[in-house]
Structure 1
Amino acid sequence: GGTETTCYRITVAGYPVTYETGPFCPDTITDSADAGGIWFDGNGVYDLDGEFIVGLSELYGDDNWLMYDDDGNVLVTETAEEFEAAARPDVDPSLQNHCVEGRLEWLDNGEPISTTVVIPVQPVLADEPATVRGNLGVTLDGVVIAASAPVDAILGAYTIAAFDDCGGHFNPFDGYHLHGAVGCSEVDEVSEGETAMFAYAMDGFPVHSPLDDPASADLDECNGHETEAAGYHYHANNTAENQVIECLVGQTVAATGDAAAPAGGARPEPQEEVGTQ
């Protein structure tokens, strides 16, 4: 740490500029996959359709799962108050066995929650890779990549914190954010043998979509490698793993002060900051 470097201070809009969020939860147990989003838990990626809702007790080996009523309607958070009471570690007992979904209009003033990040213009290697605390990076279309979703706590409360098909969802504190790399934020060209870039990690290195065969790419412990065309970059994990990036090889800089210019991925002028690992 302590390296002085030039950084971008970026205010991320908190809502994607390249796609619409949702849907999240299905309405009934007869709904197809088109009616809902996805769920991933570290072991697999599941379509949030009616069949998934019916099969929760079998999937997780617990007969206490029952997320629909006698008429086949899925129990979903239907108000801002229910959303706030369910999208937290201490889920209100009345909202157990609910599919939890948020909406933009349920956030404060019905507006996205912006986040300011500071990212090195030229990444500075750390002495050794470090596990990520807090946000992992930002997508090119203006969404924060969050750390792993707390799956054990979510399932322990008999809830499903539904993601949309782009791997994101809302919570009352952070707004819309991503937990999985599904490909929706790819807005960059692809070089031969590579996948598209879709984000920058907090240390300034690019993040590309998952590889079909990561074992053949000689990735390091942080899921990164260097190529002639793209330089050093990370590859996101498979969505099922609920961990977009394993660790960071570069130093990061803590954001301070108020936000700079608005952004869905826009870059303001560089500012001098002090990097800390």
Structure 2
Amino acid sequence: MRHLHSITDLSNEAIMTTIERAIDIKNGNVANFPEIYAANLFFENSTRTKCSFEVAERKLGMQVIPFETSTSSVTKGESLYDTCKTLESIGCNVLVIRHPENDYYKQLDGLNIPIVNGGDGSGQHPTQCLLDLMTIYEEFGKFDGLKVVICGDILNSRVARSNYDALTRLGAEVKFVAPDAWIDKSIPADYVNIDDVIEEVDVCMLLRVQHERHDKASSFTKEEYNNRFGLNQARYDKLKDNAIILHPAPVNRDVEIASELVEAPKARIFKQMENGVYTRMSVLSQVIEGNQ
């Protein structure tokens, strides 16, 4: 793995290699890269992804170069390419980037160091997808034949796009639930009513309503949205005994999921966050080794 821009960069075999290495790391088999310098360039707000990458880098023994967009030369008009080329020139070996522009990485072809995509606009979020896959795989030991429903703001969700691609390639059946205004017609998935599938799914993934990506606020109240598209106690009670609940977070409690269900027995939301560190350690290890 020389870089990670999109989940579509990875073959099914490469996805499984990444998951298996992450599990191996979780079990204590950790490589060490003390001579590697990493920088995390986050042009959108982030808690989980940014902190998870930094913890992953430090656990791998890497040197983490502080970078804040608000105090960088980006505020003076420097291009993304020139910022990245500067960091490469002073000795950084890998860059993790989150950017509001879809496919931003296409303008970085002149770099000689790997880029790991921490999320691009409403395009792709490959490491979130991989940590979701790891969490599912730990639970079921397979993907083939699993039934997955992804509920929420599909149109603006890089998570939905990445997971649909990977899960369907790996043999899962993926369906979407969304308000009409948030349907993404570019993804060839079936849209269903949540109550028609809730009793049969193995994985119920909720997505945050991304108000910041909408032209105007949602017309739904919290209660209306949860009643029509979210997970409440009544729907939770209909889930199969071994079904699991996922959410990429941050969670809008009592909107896409009732607050009392965030840490319910079937929920794996905080397990996803834990697995995110191991998954990102796996990815970083592979891109460093792939560029040596």
TM-score, normalised by the number of residues in structure 2: 0.30
Structure with the bigger percentage of helix: 2
TM-score, normalised by the number of residues in structure 1: 0.31
Query: Greater relative contact order (Cα 8 A, min sep 6): structure 1 or 2?
Result: 1
Structure with the bigger percentage of strand: 1
